[in-house]
């Protein structure tokens, strides 16, 4: 529910009393609501099987995200966009899926999804995640399913999606791996932003879901570069190695000397603030997006290197921009997905993700480490917020025949 007092309460008191996030004072609530209607005959109703709890969902619940997106959502919305489901109903103009088909959803609510014939520049280029008309068209404002009042979202038994958003899941991908297709698509989009050679050194900051999937995506596209992964917890370190990291580094005070040792860089100590590196890695993927990790990424990347911000950054403070200026760094974001150039072809990120994930589904399946029925949403969200400390990676809601709907 939209409430400025509740938002402020969560933002400023939630960290001290985390139970507030799922209390009666929260901005979220478990409610019985009518099923959304099909906006048109080119839409599909999907019955949810699994839905992952994303970092952006948690940022929304904790009121930690930037208000940047507030004009591009419509209330009340149902969270959830990392989805495995099955088709429950298909409009007359949908011919590529039928009821009972197992599907995943490409959540972006772009021009064509909105019924707009005059596509924006980004949609014409295939950059569907960067659509410039997310407040226009046949449905209410919303950047994605999960943030639009007319579509519903994966934190519910059913929701609706446009035919262009529906992708069938091959039989060889089990549900536990298929629920990772959406975040894996985000990771693929990030790694295809930069060119690396076999001699490159790549640093992954953060080995939660996005960091681990970024490692997997790098190896999936044939990258043979050296990957250094900074992991905070032992289970994250183990997964990082299994998915292809060459070395796992510490976080905190040990990170800088370990990066220096791995790359031959020199570490210097300024009068104030964090260490300064001369040299460093060629490319850093910041898969957390906190003020601390963004600052680390800039300091640990060599001159004329590249930094890709994968994690949602909100409004970071305390980031020293001197590194960008002095080292002439290339810094770019990686938001959702679109159309990729891969092996001489242009194809949607989701299509590529499904193809590549099918080849390594069994190695990714263990990342889904906690399941909850929707009625236990408070426990599920609490578990997701403490994933690292509890030895988990991805927490999901499970909707099964035996679960209350």
- For the stretch 144-189, pLDDT in tens is 999 999 999 999 999 999 999 999 999 999 999 999 999 999 999 9
- For the stretch 201-253, pLDDT in tens is 999 999 999 999 999 999 999 999 999 999 999 999 999 999 999 999 999 88
Answer whether 254's CB lies under 8 Å from 225's CB: no
Q: Is the dihedral of CA 111, 113, 116, 118 positive or negative?
A: positive
Please determine, for residue 402, whether its predicted confidence score (pLDDT) is greater than 80.
no
| 202 and 175 housed in the same domain | no
∠ Cα 229 223 220 (to 5°): 90
- Rounded CA gap, 250 and 232, in Å? 7
| 238 and 151 housed in the same domain | no
Confidence of residue 199 (pLDDT cuts 50, 70, 90): very high
Q: Is residue 102 part of a domain?
A: yes
- Rounded CA gap, 161 and 39, in Å? 9
Gyration radius of the chain's alpha carbons: 21
Q: Is residue 371 part of a domain?
A: yes
Answer whether 361's CB lies under 8 Å from 338's CB: no
Domain with residue 85: its CATH number is 3.90.180.10
Q: 366 in helix, strand or coil?
A: helix
- Rounded CA gap, 168 and 97, in Å? 7
| 299 and 212 housed in the same domain | yes
Please determine, for residue 405, whether its predicted confidence score (pLDDT) is greater than 70.
no
| 282 and 165 housed in the same domain | no
- For the stretch 334-367, pLDDT in tens is 999 999 999 999 999 999 999 999 999 999 999 9
- Give the pair of three-digit tokens for residue 262: 């791995």
Residue where the block lists tokens 């020199």: 266
| 228 and 106 housed in the same domain | no
Within 8 A by CB and 6+ apart from 400, the residues are 49
Instruction: State the total domains in the chain.
Output: 2
- Rounded CA gap, 203 and 192, in Å? 15
Confidence of residue 19 (pLDDT cuts 50, 70, 90): confident
Q: Is residue 21 part of a domain?
A: yes
Domain, as residue range, for 294: 192-336
């Amino acid at each position: 529910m939209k409430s400025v007092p509740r938002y402020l309460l969560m933002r400023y008191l939630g960290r001290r009393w985390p139970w507030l996030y799922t209390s009666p004072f929260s901005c979220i609530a478990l409610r019985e609501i009518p099923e959304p209607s099909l906006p048109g005959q080119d839409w599909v109703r999907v019955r949810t099987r699994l839905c992952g709890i994303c970092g952006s969902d948690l940022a929304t619940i904790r009121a930690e995200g930037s208000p940047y997106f507030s004009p591009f959502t419509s209330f009340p919305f149902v969270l959830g966009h990392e989805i495995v489901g099955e088709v429950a109903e298909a409009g007359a103009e949908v011919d590529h899926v039928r009821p009972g088909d197992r599907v995943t959803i490409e959540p972006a609510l772009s021009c064509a999804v909105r019924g707009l014939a005059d596509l924006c520049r980004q949609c014409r280029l295939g950059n569907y995640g960067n659509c410039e008309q997310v407040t226009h068209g046949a449905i209410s404002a919303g950047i994605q399913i999960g943030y639009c009042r007319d579509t519903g979202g994966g934190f519910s038994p059913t929701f609706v999606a446009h035919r262009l958003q529906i992708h069938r899941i091959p039989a060889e991908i089990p549900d536990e791996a298929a629920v990772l297709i959406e975040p894996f698509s985000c990771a693929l989009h990030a790694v295809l932003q930069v060119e690396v050679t076999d001699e490159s050194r790549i640093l992954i900051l953060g080995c939660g879901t996005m960091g681990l999937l970024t490692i997997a995506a790098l190896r999936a596209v044939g990258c043979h570069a050296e990957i250094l992964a900074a992991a905070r917890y032992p289970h994250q370190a183990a997964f990082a190695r299994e998915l292809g990291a060459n070395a796992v580094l510490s976080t905190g005070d040990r990170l800088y000397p370990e990066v220096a040792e791995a790359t031959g860089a020199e570490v210097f100590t300024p009068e104030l603030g964090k260490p300064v590196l001369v040299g460093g890695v060629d490319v850093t993927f910041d898969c957390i997006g906190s003020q601390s990790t963004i600052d680390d990424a800039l300091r640990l990347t060599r001159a004329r290197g590249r930094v890709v911000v994968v994690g949602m950054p909100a409004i970071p403070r305390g980031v020293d921009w001197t590194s960008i200026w002095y080292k002439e760094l290339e810094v770019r974001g990686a938001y959702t997905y679109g159309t990729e150039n891969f092996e001489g072809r242009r194809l949607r990120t989701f299509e590529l993700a499904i193809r590549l994930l099918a080849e390594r589904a069994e190695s990714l399946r263990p990342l889904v480490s906690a399941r909850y029925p929707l009625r236990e949403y408070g426990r599920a969200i609490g578990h997701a917020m403490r994933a690292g400390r509890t030895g988990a990676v991805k927490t999901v809601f499970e909707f099964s025949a035996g679960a209350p709907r």
